[in-house]
Structure 1
Amino acid sequence: MATEIPWWKQPLLRQLYFMMTFLFLGSTTLGYDGSVLNGLQTMTSWQEYFSYPVGSRLGIFGAMPGFGGLAVLLFAPYIADILGRRMGTAIGCAFIIMGSLIQSFPPSSHPEAMYLAGRFFIGFGANISNGCCPLLITEIAHPQHRGKVTTIYNTLWYLGAIIAAWTTYGTLTTLTGDIQWRLPTGLQCLMPGIQLLAIFFIPESPRWLISKGRDDEALKILTKYHANGDESDESVKWEFSEIRETLHLEKEASSSTGWLELVRTPGNRKRCFLIIVTAIFSQCSGNGLVSYYLSSILKTIGITEPKKQAIINGGLTIWCWLILLNCAFLVDRVGRRVLFLFAGLGMLISFTIWTTCSAVYAKTGSTGAGSAVLAVIFLFYGTAGAAWPGLTVSYTVEILPYHIRAKGLTLCFAFTALSCVFNQYVNPIGLEVLQWKFYFVYIAVLVIECLVIYFFYVETKGPTLEEIAILFDGENSYVGTTLPMPEKKTSASTVEHVHEV
């Protein structure tokens, strides 16, 4: 095995990872938006202000950020590739702040239009910001920590959900009138605001700098943070050489920088297939039911009291985050594919039990069956946390070579947004019309999900970010370095490990 680099013993690497916490706020912002609507639905003041939305009206409230995300998809990767990962993050944060303010102060005469406009801009800005943050994290993290750090990024979705859930509970129990829902809505500005102030203290991606011919700046960043400022460190010289030569080879081999490059080669087509199904599974595995419409779910099992719903919502978000955070540290130990399989099978089993208990409650009104549904919801999210949403972004960015990484991540967000729009618009209608019978749709999806993971997913544990290309492109991969591998890496050659996988 290569010599382990304990990040906590490296002052400058510690500094880098501390700064990365501000990048994680991009995911936290998404989580806040995902949970705040759940909390708002428990408030009579919000329901009255928007004339008690249900069915398709409630669905469009949940789906509107997805429409905003779709509107910017064609431009988001160019922002990341042309302006840089940091500037793209800043632009996205600015749009989210604007959307949050618009959403917080809709006029009483026509509240719905302004509220939806605000949610649109939140989705618009979130897709720009989140199209840059994971790229910067992956491309600047130390190779030994890349998997864990990038996976942690998407687990912070639930930190945002926790903040939103307990903020809405707090305003529900202590405030009255419109301020009850306006305050948690306006607080959505806080995290992107902090991120906007901090982003320019974080170093730019060395890979982006090399792609722009700024090799000296890239080497200084790698030396400072990956070698604690030691300019004679052979590992950093090797890392820099591999990145630079691989980017040059990719550029020479690429027929274009357009969107068709995503499907030009068999390896890229396989990557796109995995990205698309990962994005769909991340949203359409039954998790969207609880993420946005927990209030409606709880009503189907007789839990209608707003404060009780809010407490359950807050407790569920804390449970999910703890599970996700622990699983993030397993990605390099047990592998990505194993975690995906565990999550898929666990979700299928627990969702089947969930459906059965819901049917019993619907027919008998048994309080035991209702309590069982609530317990299984926690079990469902416990197993889902092995992969979703933590691996959704990290798996996507690491299987992509640099020259299509931003576009591939945008492809992931495109299908995530499409799935969200469909999911969040259809779910309230399905729950209203079919109630528990609607769950059979997700059982079918979960069966397909398990089969796809088992037969098609590629394990990426082990190789460096550049060398993962060998797993997809084989002999046609473009991985290069002009330097010999340093001694401490020779004992466990990454390239040899790739071929073993």
Structure 2
Amino acid sequence: MVNVKNLFSSFSEKKESRPTPPEVYNIRVYIAAIVACFAAVVIGYDAGFIGGTVALTTFKDEFGYAKMLAAEQTLTTSNIISLFHAGAFFGAFFIYPIGRYYGRVVGFALSGLIITLGSGIQLASNARTGLSAIYAGRVLTGVGIGAISNLAPMYVSEIAPSAIRGRLVGMYEIAWQVGGLVGFFINFGTEQHFTTDMQWRIPLAVQLIPSGMFFVGVLFLKESPKWCFSAGKKDKGLNALCYLRNLSPDSEYIAWEVAMMEEEVAERDATVGTSFTGPFKALFGSKALRYRLLLTTSTFILQNTTGVNAINYYSVQVMKTMGISSLSAGLLSTGVFGVIKGVFCFIWAFFIVDNFGRRTPIYWGTALGSFSLWYIGAYIKIANPAAKLAAGISTSDAGSKAALAFFYIWTVGYAIGWSGLPWVLNSEMFDQSNRTLASCFNAASNWFWAFIFARFSGNMITKMGYGTFFFFAAMLIIACVIYMLLYPDTKGIPIGDVDMLFEKGVAPWRAHSRAMELIRLREEQRVTPDWVKRVGKGSQEHIETVSDFSTEKHV
């Protein structure tokens, strides 16, 4: 019989900067990460279902699309889609004081209630009352989702051992893609089997399932040990840490983690303080932290240059530009898109991000994605499949099949490169004293840019046609170059040591290897983290003469 405990230990075990007991890589930390990330299913589901739902004939008939001009139809659809993102933008800030003063789990529970309430309100819309309930419900659901997008990656990064932190935070992206996959096929299924208003009501109602499951799950979730220690609740934090690590309180590894957390708290108290305005002053008063925040918030701009939100929310419209005419075929094609994206996001999270780091997969993803978009744009420009469809000419030729194949290759490139990268990277870039506030701005940046692209991509596809694909192909290359020149790799770096990646005079592409060497020397010599910070500010010669320094015992 398979021993589940040993299975998780052998599958998860990685080399860290210090010896790590195999018990640390256990099923408990995975379950906690899955529960925390489960609300991302709602985000993915929204991306998967809403574009197809508003394209359904029964939805358009219910809300009088036939009486609208073409421009008004596009505007109405864009508003329905983008109000969700507007709510999420404000939700990311709304949850900040709750997450800071009352904990991550309380924030999760409140967010789950808001999401469930918003999802239920949307079902009140009909031909008589109009779209107002859908508008209000989507804003409210967005507020809850914005809050979750702030808390979930941060919580998971706080509970995760550093060697598998990328994998665990990557579950947030996996949950997102699972939701998207369900959304794509819910639309396809209802379009095939219903002809009444149930065709669009069922996709709206399904939102209640993951939000309800998430709310129930968080009732059993352990609070973040890092938050507990920062809030002065050391006994609760120690209990949670021992549970998540599957170790006893007298374990040397537990003592080491506790010492690291206590040092972070002491440093926070000395530099930031405990006031509400302290983190704002620390984050925006430091040139180095402002620069780091600029990097993290910009990852969402770079991610959107892949075209992912344009394709997610206007998938049926995108398929039409490629010559896929019927609604059923378009929904099925986007369903396959969801399957591929979900599978490769899983591969990225479990086999790529913690083995190849945060930089190399970007190069792979950009190469696949950009080339594919150039081909699709060229095919649409030369073959003009939309004009052929309008003239009743078949578009099922080798060129169209190749375009669809390259669309799926682009999907693979996105999934292994840019999909979950911003959430992983942003959860790792700040220490405990600044993480909660920085996470607000990072989550808000995601939803701001998602709103911009969701709001205007419909018009962009309509007016630019093939040029849309050329635009995203070019922007993808630019984004890759920016990332290559400015962003260090955070793979395996303890969160408390991330400052080492941003030492003055160290190129981002060299920062990771240098930081890992410093950490290795610290653990070999068992010196204090303060010593490493002193060495890190010096020259490379300091590393070579480590034996000249006196060491202190570090638990």
2:391 maps to: none
2:81 maps to: 62
Distance 2:50 2:435 in 1: 32
Q: CA deviation at 1:209?
A: 0.5
Q: CA deviation at 1:231?
A: 2.6
Q: CA deviation at 1:173?
A: 1.5
Alignment TM-score, normalising by the size of structure 2: 0.82
Cα distance per residue 1:402-449 (max 9 Å; x no partner):
122122122122221121221111111111222222333323422320
Distance 2:109 2:98 in 1: 11
Structure 1 residue ranges without an equivalent (≥5): 476-484
Distance 2:424 2:296 in 1: 11
Distance 1:187 1:425 in 2: 24
Distance 1:72 1:268 in 2: 23
Distance 1:263 1:487 in 2: 32
1:312 aligns with 2:330: no
Contact 2:306 2:414 in 1 (8 A): no
Q: CA deviation at 1:263?
A: 2.8
1:445 aligns with 2:475: yes
Contact 1:55 1:432 in 2 (8 A): no
Give secondary structure in 2 for the equivalent of 1:466: helix
1:88 maps to: 107
The 10-residue stretch of structure 1 (51-60 or 130-139) with the greater mean CA deviation from structure 2: 51-60
Which of 119, 123, 128 is equivalent to 1:109?
A: 128
Contact 2:381 2:466 in 1 (8 A): yes
Contact 1:155 1:389 in 2 (8 A): no
The structure-2 alpha-carbon separation of the partners of 1:433 and 1:191, relative to structure 1 and needing over 3 Å to count, comes to: same
2:252 maps to: 234
Which of 246, 256, 259 is equivalent to 2:280?
A: 259
Tell me the number of residue pairs that the alignment of Structure 1 and Structure 2 aligns: 488
Distance 1:225 1:82 in 2: 22
The structure-2 alpha-carbon separation of the partners of 1:231 and 1:453, relative to structure 1 and needing over 3 Å to count, comes to: same
Contact 1:360 1:369 in 2 (8 A): no
Contact 1:282 1:416 in 2 (8 A): no
Alignment TM-score, normalising by the size of structure 1: 0.90
Which of 52, 76, 80 is equivalent to 2:95?
A: 76
Aligned ranges 1:132-211 → 2 under 5 Å: 132-211=151-230
Q: CA deviation at 1:453?
A: 0.6
1:14 maps to: 27
Query: Radius of gyration: which is bigger?
Result: 2
Query: Given residue 15 of structure 1, which amino acid in structure 2 is its aligned partner?
Result: R
Q: CA deviation at 1:368?
A: 2.7
Q: CA deviation at 1:78?
A: 1.6
Structure 2 residue ranges without an equivalent (≥5): 1-14, 66-71, 389-394, 506-518, 544-555
Give secondary structure in 2 for the equivalent of 1:422: helix
Cα distance per residue 1:147-204 (max 9 Å; x no partner):
2111222222110011111122222212221111111111101111111111021110
2:524 maps to: 490
Distance 1:202 1:488 in 2: 34
Aligned ranges 1:33-432 → 2 under 5 Å: 33-52=46-65, 54-226=73-245, 228-254=246-272, 256-329=277-350, 330-362=352-384, 365=388, 367-432=397-462
Distance 2:117 2:50 in 1: 18
Give secondary structure in 2 for the equivalent of 1:145: helix
Distance 1:44 1:491 in 2: 69
Distance 2:469 2:221 in 1: 44
Give secondary structure in 2 for the equivalent of 1:380: helix
Contact 2:33 2:169 in 1 (8 A): no
Q: CA deviation at 1:488?
A: 12
Q: CA deviation at 1:353?
A: 1.7
Q: Which runs of 4+ in 1 moved over 4 A?
A: 4-7, 363-366, 485-489, 491-501
Distance 2:527 2:195 in 1: 63
Contact 1:336 1:460 in 2 (8 A): yes
1:470 maps to: 500
Give secondary structure in 1 for the equivalent of 2:131: helix
The structure-2 alpha-carbon separation of the partners of 1:233 and 1:489, relative to structure 1 and needing over 3 Å to count, comes to: farther
Give secondary structure in 2 for the equivalent of 1:108: coil
